[in-house]
Each structure stands twice: as structure tokens, then as C-alpha cells.
Amino acid sequence: MLPRRTWDEWMASAERWVGAIERAYVDDATGTGPGAGGLPFAMGVSEELDLLARAGLAAVASRYLAIGTPRTLGIVGAGPRRDGRLGQACVATHRLWNPTREVRCADPRGDELAALLAGACGGRVTTVAQALACDIVCLVDDVALAPSALRGGTHVNILTGSRPGPELAAIAVLAHELAGHGAPSLGQLAAGLVDGRQRDEITIFAVGPAQLAAGALAKA
């Protein structure tokens, strides 16, 4: 049975459930979770739980892949329902470890959606280019990213299930939600099995199905 909480209750309890997500991926990477297969994958979860799972994963990834003292957080896209909730969840989860001073909100479809997003996130409306210039960037909608759009030291979370294009992948350090993609997994990073950020490279984390995270949420 999934926990029944209001959206505001989920936002207020972010520290608890983001921690549960991180532990689930550490357990998965180290084989120390309950049972031979680790924590169960949650199937058929609600859209709300899926949004929370993705926001939690992004925050954990930023903890290990962003620069040491990030000052700016960029949210690009108003989300699947164009209501800003996924961006709002990203801001709430990132503030647990990265209390950025400025949140920049942009939507390639126009300032009206960007303003809606900014209202939900407590940020300010900027251009997409300005949002992509942040220390941490969360892509809530699919956005075509050219390598020239990002500066060195930026960490990007792709929350849509998409993967970076080949040109961007060639110059960035990649990490994936789960093992098996030829790049470090989130669990390996969180468990200290592989190193996170080294210098001023561009780092990119791609969220996958997020089912393990949703399973952790169901137990939080």
C-alpha cells in the first residue's frame, strides 16, 4: 500500500524519503538490501509517486556529482502536466544538501509556463540559456542540449528518461540510475564504490524508470 499524503506533506518530509531512496540504491549496488534481489521495484505507481521518485534521484545524484558549493539551480521545463510540480519537488529535494542561493526557471515553450514554474518553485523567470548556466540543472522536459550550451563544472540531471546525445556524451562524465549502461550507477556513487566529481568537468545523470526509487518511497 502506497503512503497516502498530500503533496505539501511530501514536500515537508523530503529529508526522510530522499534518504530512503539513497539507501535503496546503496543497498542495490552493494547487495545488502533485504532478500537476494534487494528492494522490490514498484510497479504501476501513481504519477505523483513517479514525480517524487525522479526528484529524489536527481537530488542524490547532485549530492555526488555537483560542485562542492553550488550557488545556482536551474529548472528547465514545467513538467509532464505543465504544472511545475516536478520542478517544485526538485527544489525541495536539492535544498537538503545543496542550499543554492538562486533558482532560475525557464521553459522553451514560453514565459507563461516559465512564470508558472517560477511560482511553484519560488524562483525567477530566466531564459533557457541562463538556466543552463547554473551550477546544477534539472531538465524536467526534453530539451535539445548542445555541448556549447553548458559550461565546465555544471551538473545536469535529465529527469525525463531521455539520454544525452552523442556529442554531449562525448565531452561529459555520465552516470545512470542503474548499472549496465557502461557508466557508473547512482548506487555505486552513493556507496563510494566509484568516485564522483573530480574537477570542473560537465557531469550528467540520467534518471531511468525510477521504479526502485518508487519502491523506497512506498516504504518511507
In a domain, 1, yes or no: no
Does 2 map to a domain?
no
Structural domain contains residue 166: yes
Give domain status of residue 131, yes or no. Answer: yes
Per-residue pLDDT of the chain (220 residues; tens, 9 = 90+): 455 788 889 888 999 999 999 999 999 999 886 533 444 555 557 888 899 999 999 999 999 999 989 999 999 998 888 899 999 999 999 999 888 889 999 999 998 999 999 998 899 999 999 999 999 999 999 888 888 999 999 999 999 878 888 898 899 999 999 887 678 999 999 999 998 888 889 999 999 889 899 989 888 7
Asked whether residue 202 is assigned to any structural domain, the reply reads: yes
Count of the separate structural domains present in the chain: 1
Range of the domain at 11: 7-219
In a domain, 161, yes or no: yes
pLDDT confidence of residue 2: 52
Q: Exposed (0-12), middle (13-18) or buried (19+): which is 36, by Cβ within 10 Å?
A: exposed
Asked if residue 97 is part of any domain, the answer here is yes
- Calpha distance 37→124 (Å, rounded): 43
Confirm whether 24 is domain-assigned. Answer: yes
pTM for the model stands at 0.91
Q: What is the CATH number of the domain that holds 111?
A: 3.40.50.720
